[in-house]
Amino acid sequence: MRPTRGIRRIGILFGMENSFPGALVEEINGRNVPGVRAEFVEIGAVALPREIAAAQADPHYAVVIDRISHQVPFYRSWLKAAMLDGTHVLNNPFWQSADDKFLNYALARRLGLAVPATMLLPHHLPPNGLTARSLRNLEIPFNWDRVFTQVGEHGFLKPIDGGGWRDVHEVRTQEEFFAAYAETRDLCMVYQKAIDFDAYFRCYVVGAKKVRVMAYDPHLPQAERYLDQSPRVSKALVHRMEREAALLCQALGYQMNTVEFAVAAGVPYAIDFMNPVPDADPSSVGQDNFEWFVQQMADLAIDQALQKPHIPALHAAQLLGTPPQPAKRKRRKSTKKTAARL
């Protein structure tokens, strides 16, 4: 660890949860790392970020661990501005604002992971108070036969930006599908094929590298889903899930996430991996999993706090966490080699 000047604050931004924020602050401060202190964020009205010329001093928070801005626009806007001031924000609020489930599945498919058949559906009702006149580019009549041919009749309707199983519907017939679809109001939904799985796992991923594979049963009540006993699976399958969970989070730029796999005939299908505020309550995830997550997040936060403030280049790709790729230059043929051939 490098020596640092001044206090490097790690701020925890959170909502209703009680266990994780306090445990993380206690874990970080209990390590007595010189110059590093964790605390709960306190924020009021926010001024604009400093000008570049004045941005040599460290920001007030070296790191902010974000557990609530997806529900509070005020927090989300502040975090984006804080990043311009050099604060490391976990997870990147720019990318969280841009992400959605269909994009997740498209990315996983392009990465070569197994993904259930999935289709993006138009809104059942026009969004944002619009009328049908604003949606004249939509296919009319809509080709529902194509949807059921691609996905089948047993599947899940999911909002593209939902979480916690909110507004998720499992359907087994076309009649059930259309009844559920009518309840989705103006939400944008995906329809995904149900996997008849042999085993199911949820993986904590921290720093896009550290992975903990946990046995999980999505059919049980929320507080009982993390299982004490894991189904018997091969070490090769566990390693594959670890590798693919890390690959997904590296591609998405998430520093804390959970990735769910439904295993059928030895193949792990990536089911859900848009969980940038993963469950971290010992009453649901279990004490061992909770302690692992707290320790790994403490490692990550301290490491980030000891880095230099990162003031991103004012470029969309940099803000989203991906450096822009330079254009490839065409190589000119060597005149010496050309002359030698003559």
CATH of the domain at 203: 3.30.470.20
How high is the pLDDT of residue 276? 93
What is the pLDDT averaged over residues 318-337? 54
| pLDDT > 80? residue 186 | yes
Nearest Cα residue to 190 out of 97, 130, 103, 95: 103
Listed residues 147, 165, 193: the one ending a domain: 193
Same domain, 165 and 224: no
Measured between its terminal Cα atoms, the distance across the chain in Å is: 60
Distance CA 86, CA 89 (A): 9
**What pTM value is reported for the model?**
0.87
Listed residues 141, 161, 193: the one ending a domain: 193
| pLDDT > 60? residue 42 | yes
Same domain, 13 and 90: yes
Helix (H, G, I), strand (E, B) or coil at 179: helix
Nearest Cα residue to 59 out of 83, 23, 40: 83
CATH of the domain at 304: 3.40.50.20
Listed residues 193, 211, 237: the one ending a domain: 193
313 alpha carbon, distance to own chain's centre: 23
| pLDDT > 50? residue 338 | no
Same domain, 231 and 257: yes
Nearest Cα residue to 171 out of 184, 151, 156: 156
Residue 16 one-letter amino acid: M
Number of domains in the chain: 3
How high is the pLDDT of residue 312? 73
| pLDDT > 60? residue 333 | no
pLDDT 10s digits, 85-141: 889 999 999 998 889 999 999 999 999 999 999 999 999 999 988 998 899 999 988
Same domain, 92 and 22: yes
Same domain, 19 and 78: yes
Q: Determine how many CB atoms are found less than 10 A away from the CB of residue 229.
A: 6
Same domain, 220 and 265: yes
| pLDDT > 90? residue 263 | yes
| Lowest-pLDDT range of 14-28, 42-56, 77-91, 263-277 | 42-56
Alpha-carbon distances, residue 252 vs 78, 79, 121 (angstroms): 22, 18, 23
Residue 145 lies in a domain: yes
Q: How confident is the model at residue 164 (pLDDT cuts 50, 70, 90)?
A: confident
Same domain, 208 and 142: no
Same domain, 271 and 244: yes
Q: How confident is the model at residue 1 (pLDDT cuts 50, 70, 90)?
A: very low
Residue 35 lies in a domain: yes
Same domain, 161 and 235: no
Same domain, 220 and 176: no
Whether the CB-CB separation of 310 and 82 falls below 8 Å is answered with no
Residue 110 lies in a domain: no
Between 221 and 178, the higher pLDDT residue:
178
Complete edge-to-edge strand list for the sheet that includes strand 63-66: 36-40, 8-13, 63-66, 88-90
Residue 330 lies in a domain: no
| pLDDT > 60? residue 237 | yes
| pLDDT > 70? residue 55 | no
How high is the pLDDT of residue 340? 41
Residue 62 lies in a domain: yes
What is the pLDDT averaged over residues 226-255? 95
Q: Determine how many CB atoms are found less than 10 A away from the CB of residue 133.
A: 7
Residue 222 lies in a domain: yes
Same domain, 121 and 82: no
Residue 331 lies in a domain: no
Residue 234 φ/ψ, nearest 5 degrees: -75, 155
Same domain, 143 and 181: yes
What is the pLDDT averaged over residues 22-26? 98
pLDDT 10s digits, 219-236: 999 889 999 988 999 999
Residue 217 corresponds to which tokens in the numbers above? 């049963």
CATH of the domain at 122: 3.30.1490
Q: Which domain holds residue 202?
A: 196-275
What is the pLDDT averaged over residues 289-303? 98
Residue 338 lies in a domain: no
Distance CA 322, CA 94 (A): 11
